[in-house]
Homo-oligomer: A and B are copies of this chain.
Amino acid sequence: MLSKSQISFIKSLHQKKFRKENGLFIIEGIKATTEFLGSAYRLHSIYHTGNLPAELKGTDTNIKLFEVKQTDLQRISTLQTPQGILALVHIPEEQAFDPGSLRQRFTLALDGVQDPGNLGTIIRTADWFGFSTLICSPNTVEAFNPKTVQATMGSLARVRIHYADLPELIAAAGVPVFGALLNGEDIYRTKWGNEGLVVLGNEGQGISPAVQAHITTPVTIPRRGGAESLNVAISAAIFCSELCRS
Interface residues of A (CB under 8 A from B): 117, 121, 124-132, 151, 153-155, 158, 186, 188, 221-231, 233-234, 237-238, 241-242, 244-246
Contacts and interface: CB of A to CB of B under 8 A. Distances in A.
Contacts of A223: 128-130
A188 B245 contact: yes
A79 to B, nearest CB: 14
A224 B125 contact: no
B124 A227 contact: yes
Contacts of A230: 124-125, 128, 237
Residue with the highest number of chain B CB atoms closer than 10 Å, among A223, A231, A233, A242: A231
Contacts of A151: 231
Contacts of A242: 241
B129 A234 contact: no
A153 B132 CA distance: 31
B231 A124 contact: yes
Contacts of A245: 188
A196 B80 CA distance: 39
Nearest to A152: B227
B130 A225 contact: yes
Contacts of A188: 245-246
Given A125-B234, A188-B246, A246-B188, A241 B229 contact: no
26 contacts: A121-B234, A124-B234, A125-B227, A125-B230, A125-B231, A127-B225, A128-B226, A128-B230, A129-B224, A129-B225, A130-B223, A130-B224, A131-B225, A153-B227, A153-B228, A154-B228, A155-B227, A188-B245, A188-B246, A221-B241, A224-B244, A231-B233, A237-B237, A237-B238, A238-B238, A238-B241
A158 B226 contact: yes
Given A117-B117, A234-B121, A234-B234, A128 B241 contact: no
A153 to B, nearest CB: 7
A237 B153 CA distance: 19
Contacts of A130: 223-225
B238 A127 contact: no
A151 B244 CA distance: 28
A14 to B, nearest CB: 16
